[in-house]
């Protein structure tokens, strides 16, 4: 099905296979990190919930990247992945943390909000949707929304998702987005400590989403300054190398340069991935509790019905109706 979707996507969009690979190679946290975060979040859950998610761990893992697949086809999708805090004054930011989406639209034009990103508000909205899915015991929706919510939470914890200089294009560091959030995890995450403890109930979901964004933004200076400092010490042929990906030879940051940058960051990528795992688990649990803690102990592995498969095909076809030119955060 995925291969068929890619083929249809290429025909309708007019993209070459290389274009498609470049769009997906380093999108958001990268497929590897997004899937790893959702998978690990399952193990933070209490006994009343972990059985259901473990039975469906492949679903929430495999579908962790769905929001990225929609970014170029659904107009409203791209702003859900980021917020450019540097477009707002410090005094305004302090107020925005406590604004509902309705209040935000009263205070700032809606098109401006979408232009600069809405990820903290969208996390709150998705948490509400997940609660409703739990309340209805709609297994398909629970799993789909859980996977999506995990994606947006992970994005909110990425420093480069909090700035208009999202790919270093304003500081002559083009490509740093994919470097930080895909190349580094793929090289070093196997050695990260992902024991983050048990999920806990979150009383203030929107404030938690904002705190994630603010914490990520606080790390932004190191992300940019350390790469710039290190680049001055490396010739071009030492900074970059070539790797095989999906049968393609691609230019990427060398292992030596990556290791040195990773060392300078002092476990920053690990901290942000850990924060993502913990927050995903916390909000899955919170959604379930707010729904009245429905009993899911008898729910086994979710198997798509014919109706579900037909609905998925229709949904993916709808993605092909338009291909939008949105900011390509991680083009290298």
Range 29-68+78-307 classified under CATH 1.10.575.10? yes
Is 52 in contact with 296 (CB distance < 8 Å)?
A: yes
CA atoms within 13 A on the CB side of 107: 13
The rounded radius of gyration (Å) of the Cα atoms in the chain is 20
- Within its chain, how far is the Cα of 268 from the centroid? 17
Ramachandran assignment for 108, one of left (phi > 0), alpha (psi -120 to 50 degrees), beta (any other):
beta
Planar angle of CA 24, 315, 282, nearest 5 degrees: 70
Planar angle of CA 320, 28, 173, nearest 5 degrees: 120
Sign of CA dihedral 27, 33, 39, 41: negative
Produce one character per residue of 97-134: b if its CB has 16 or more CB atoms within 10 Å, e if not.
eebebeebeeeeeeeebeebbbbbbbbbbbbebbbbbb
What's the average pLDDT block by block, 10 residues per block, for the chain (332 residues)? 43 38 44 95 97 97 93 88 96 94 97 97 98 97 98 98 97 96 95 97 97 98 98 95 83 96 98 98 98 93 80 66 56 38
Query: Which residues are CB-neighbours of 250 under 8 A, at least 6 positions away?
Result: 21, 25, 242, 243, 244, 332
Q: Which of 108, 80, 111, 81 is nearest to 96 (CA)?
A: 108
Tokens found for residue 109: 């034009």
Q: How far apart are CA 226 and CA 221, in angstroms?
A: 8
């Amino acid at each position: 099905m995925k291969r068929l979707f890619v083929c249809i996507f290429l025909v309708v969009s007019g993209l070459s296979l290389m274009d498609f690979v470049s769009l997906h190679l380093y999108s958001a946290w990268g497929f590897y990190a997004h899937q790893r975060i959702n998978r690990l979040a399952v193990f933070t859950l209490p006994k009343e919930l972990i059985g259901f998610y473990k039975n469906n761990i492949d679903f929430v893992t495999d579908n962790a990247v769905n929001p990225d697949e929609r970014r170029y086809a659904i107009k409203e999708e791209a702003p859900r992945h980021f917020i450019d805090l540097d477009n707002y004054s410090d005094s305004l930011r302090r107020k925005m943390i406590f604004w509902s989406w309705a209040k935000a639209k009263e205070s700032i034009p809606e098109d401006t909000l979408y232009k600069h990103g809405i990820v903290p508000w969208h996390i709150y909205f998705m948490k509400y949707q997940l609660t409703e899915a739990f309340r209805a015991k709609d297994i398909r929706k629970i799993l789909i929304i859980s996977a999506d919510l995990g994606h947006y939470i992970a994005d909110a914890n990425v420093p480069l998702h909090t700035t208009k200089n999202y790919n270093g294009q304003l500081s002559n560091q083009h490509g740093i987005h994919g470097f930080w959030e895909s190349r580094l995890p793929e090289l070093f995450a196997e050695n990260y400590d992902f024991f983050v403890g048990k999920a806990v109930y979150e009383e203030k979901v929107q404030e938690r989403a904002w705190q994630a964004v603010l914490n990520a933004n606080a790390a932004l200076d190191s992300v940019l300054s350390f790469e710039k400092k290190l680049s001055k010490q490396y010739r071009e042929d030492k900074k970059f190398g070539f790797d095989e990906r999906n049968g393609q030879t691609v230019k990427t940051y060398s292992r030596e340069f990556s290791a040195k940058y990773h060392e300078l960051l002092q476990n920053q990528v690990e901290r942000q991935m850990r924060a993502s795992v913990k927050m995903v688990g916390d909000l899955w649990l919170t959604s379930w509790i707010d729904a009245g803690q429905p009993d899911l102990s008898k729910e086994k592995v979710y198997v798509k019905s014919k109706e579900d498969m037909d609905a998925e095909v229709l949904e993916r076809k709808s993605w092909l109706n338009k291909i939008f030119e949105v900011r390509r955060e991680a083009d290298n």
